[in-house]
Amino acid sequence: MALKKKPSEPWPTITGEYEVGNPENPVAVCTCGSHIKAADLLAAGASLVGPCKTENIGIEKMVANVIANPNIRFVLITGMEVKGHITGQAVLSFTQNGIDKEGRIIGAKGAIPFIQNLTPESIERFKSQVEPIFMIDSEDAGSIMSKVKELASKDPGALDVEPMTIEIKEGGGEEDTGGLKPMAAEVVEVRGRMRGINAAVTNSGLLNKLQAGIYAGKIEGIALGMTVVLVLFGLILKVAGGV
């Protein structure tokens, strides 16, 4: 029988938008920006199912809840990416590349991929405890449930360590990232659209200048052509009069 450990009390340690199943189940499912029906996944072998919408505090909360339960040995990352945050890709970069000395997730493409609350020990615990499985941009409930069942059947048992608990301070640690704060997905999207509008206005201005230049060039060309025609016409008349 696979080894099982008692998770922290209470568990999960960090509140969030998730549903909880049997804490002895070996799979946690992160659905990124999607809301996928959790009941079937919990029944299939998941202990925790919920979205992770930000590439900073969201990842920190996920890590905190996972390392507080040594029974979790797989983290399945699925669901649709969150615009601006690109959380799934950030998790992939976090697990593969880690963070730099400023706390930035190396290789993450999201808006503010800064990890401020995780200690080096907690990050190492997460990496040693779980195997990340990626099905990013999938909302196929059947495929996700099948993957959960497959992972649950491979349960190696709990990592033989005590639960690790860490404190997550939302909005804290501004000094460490130059005053940067986690942004909601909607804010990132609005800012992205504003940048797009600014770019469109700039491009429109440049196009208007180009069109104005072309128009001015046409007028100058017409005027020059008429001048040449009049000069030639005058020369022809002069020559004809001399004859």
The length of the chain is 243
DSSP state of 205: H
Is residue 225 over pLDDT 90? no
Region 103-129: what's the mean pLDDT?
Answer: 95
User: Does residue 97 have a pLDDT over 80?
Assistant: yes
- Cα–Cα dist 179/194, whole Å: 22
Residue range 34-72, pLDDT digits in tens: 999 999 999 999 999 999 999 999 999 999 999 999 999
In this model, does residue 224 exceed pLDDT 80? Answer: no
φ and ψ of 207, to 5 deg: -65, -40
Give Cα separations from 98 to 62, 117, 202 (angstroms).
15, 14, 38
Residue 136: HSE in the Cβ half-sphere, 13 Å Cα cutoff:
13
The mean pLDDT value of the chain amounts to 85
Q: Looking at residue 157, what is its pLDDT?
A: 97
- What pLDDT score does 214 carry? 76
CATH classification (class only), 19-181:
alpha beta
CA distance 145 to 197: 41
Say if residues 117 and 168 touch (Cβ distance below 8 Å): yes
pTM over 0.85: no
User: Domain segments of the chain: what residues?
Assistant: 19-181, 184-243
Q: Which of 159-168, 173-182, 210-219 has the highest mean pLDDT?
A: 159-168
What pLDDT, in 10s, does the model give residues 179-190? Answer: 344 444 444 455
**Percent of residues, the chain, with pLDDT higher than 70:** 79
pLDDT, position 204: 66
